Amino acid sequence: MARPLVADIDFDALRHNYALARELAGESRALAVIKADAYGHGAVACALALESLPEGKRPPAFAVACLEEAEALRLGGIASPIVLLEGIFEAAELARVEALGLWMAVHSEWQLQALLAHRPARPIPVWVKVDSGMHRLGFAPEQVESVWQRLSAAPECATGLQLMSHFATADAVDAGYFETQLQRMRDLAQRLQAPLCLANSPATLAWPQSHGSWVRPGVMLYGSDPLERPSAASRRLQPVMTLRSEIIAVRDLAVGEPVGYAGRWRAPRPSRIAVVACGYGDGYDRHAVDGTPVLVAGQRTTIAGKVSMDMLTVDVTDIPEADIGSEVVLWGRSRHGAVLGVDEVARYCDTISYTLLTGILPRVPRRYSRLD
């Protein structure tokens, strides 16, 4: 019998979330971001699930961080355009960019020079990345007009020019800095008569004025709500990953008995503790505090004691039917219908859903099937 821990991936939920992004995008096209192995869900499998949608409903392009991620998609049979969000990391990669038919961001002078010196057999679609205030990657706004002109003057090298940037605070209730970044990009686009790609997941959900020619839904595709304050739209997201395991042992404890390393949790009453096959060796966050929610047999209860490498312990005192083999959902949708959001679990771990989803390790099987 196999260890019971599995990450169930629900393609219906993935397609639902992408359809929501398209609906919110209006006239904008929706680029599906599947970097970091589709945020831990399996990039090739998720891309195939989206690419199999009917014409007009599938993504017009996918986005990844680097050439290696794009190569894996091509090897997996993905034929759609793929955007390299960080562009190339050395000039030699341009030959593979060309051979694989990729689109690429250009965010720095050395990348621009490498592209203009490469002279591909077919021009490469280029997205010029602007540092509108994130101060991470991108040309300063005052440099962009010159960059645009140099690329426009080399149609044998570059085609399909777009402007792109990244918002630092699109998830926040306070829109001040977001609006500053947006205005900078609007001004640039107007001067250059350039198409824009700005909206990440939170901006796609909450800021229609930022949608431009393209939106870039990422974590929202996987059912995580990136907004500081949930909206009517974000509440429509469906969880794609369910991290599911089972109880493998049960212990009855007297008042005051400790559980786990360092005895962090002690029974405040006669207690029944269940041991679950899941731990930080699987990618579950070791920083989960006592009280972090889980679902046992569809009912909410909490972690009791520190997470171990291969196991964690939960309090099932108030779930008398819980026993060896009972379903445990660490996040996602229980077979009993209850849902535990990964965003809620992340708050108890003092982190964000991105780290939980991308942190699930390869020893946890991904099971790609629609939940009934």
CATH number for the domain spanning 356: value is: 2.40.37.10
Residues of the chain with pLDDT under 70: 1, 370-372
Please state, as a whole number, how many other Cβ atoms lie within 10 Å of the Cβ of residue 225.
24
CATH number for the domain spanning 30: value is: 3.20.20.10
Q: Is the same domain home to 268 and 203?
A: no
Decide if 228 is inside a domain: no
* Alpha carbons 115 and 145: distance in angstroms, whole number: 17
pLDDT value for 369: 76
Decide if 67 is inside a domain: yes
Residue 166 CB partners (closer than 8 Å, separation 6+):
129, 132, 134, 136, 137, 138, 198, 200
In the Cβ-directed half-sphere of 71, how many Cα atoms lie within 13 Å? 10
Element (H, E) at 242: strand 241-253
Decide if 64 is inside a domain: yes
* Alpha carbons 233 and 214: distance in angstroms, whole number: 19
Q: What is the pLDDT of residues 319-355, one digit of tens each?
A: 999 999 999 999 999 999 999 999 999 999 999 999 9
| DSSP bridge partners of 247 | 276
Q: Is the same domain home to 45 and 184?
A: yes
pLDDT value for 370: 57
DSSP state of 255: T
The total of structural domains in the chain comes to 2
Decide if 230 is inside a domain: no
Q: Is the dihedral of CA 203, 208, 210, 211 positive or negative?
A: positive
| DSSP bridge partners of 215 | 30, 199
Q: Is the same domain home to 268 and 362?
A: yes
How many residues does the structure list for the chain? 372
SS3 102: coil
Report residue 179 CA to chain centroid gap.
24
Decide if 1 is inside a domain: no
pLDDT value for 350: 97
* Alpha carbons 284 and 342: distance in angstroms, whole number: 11
Q: Is the same domain home to 196 and 280?
A: no
Whether 57 and 22 have beta carbons less than 8 Å apart is answered as yes
What average pLDDT is seen over the chain?
97
> Domain boundary residue among 163, 192, 222?
222
Using CA atoms in the order 269, 278, 44, 336, what is the torsion angle rounded to 10 degrees?
Answer: -40
Q: Is the same domain home to 68 and 190?
A: yes
Please state, as a whole number, how many other Cβ atoms lie within 10 Å of the Cβ of residue 208.
15
* Alpha carbons 172 and 202: distance in angstroms, whole number: 9
Catalytic residue among 18, 35, 39, 129: 35
Decide if 232 is inside a domain: no
Decide if 3 is inside a domain: no
Residue 124 CB partners (closer than 8 Å, separation 6+):
94, 97, 98, 102, 103, 104, 115, 157, 158, 159
Is 35 catalytic? The answer is yes
pLDDT value for 82: 98
Q: Is the same domain home to 161 and 276?
A: no
Closest to 152 in 3D by CA, of 182, 112, 120, 188: 112
The whole domain housing 39 covers 11-222
**Amino acid in the structure at residue 12:** D
Decide if 235 is inside a domain: no
Q: Is the same domain home to 187 and 41?
A: yes
Q: Is the same domain home to 257 and 330?
A: yes
pTM: 0.96
Q: Is the same domain home to 72 and 179?
A: yes
Q: Is the same domain home to 259 and 114?
A: no
> Domain boundary residue among 153, 188, 222?
222
Q: Is the same domain home to 210 and 62?
A: yes
Is 57 catalytic? The answer is no
Q: Is the same domain home to 160 and 284?
A: no
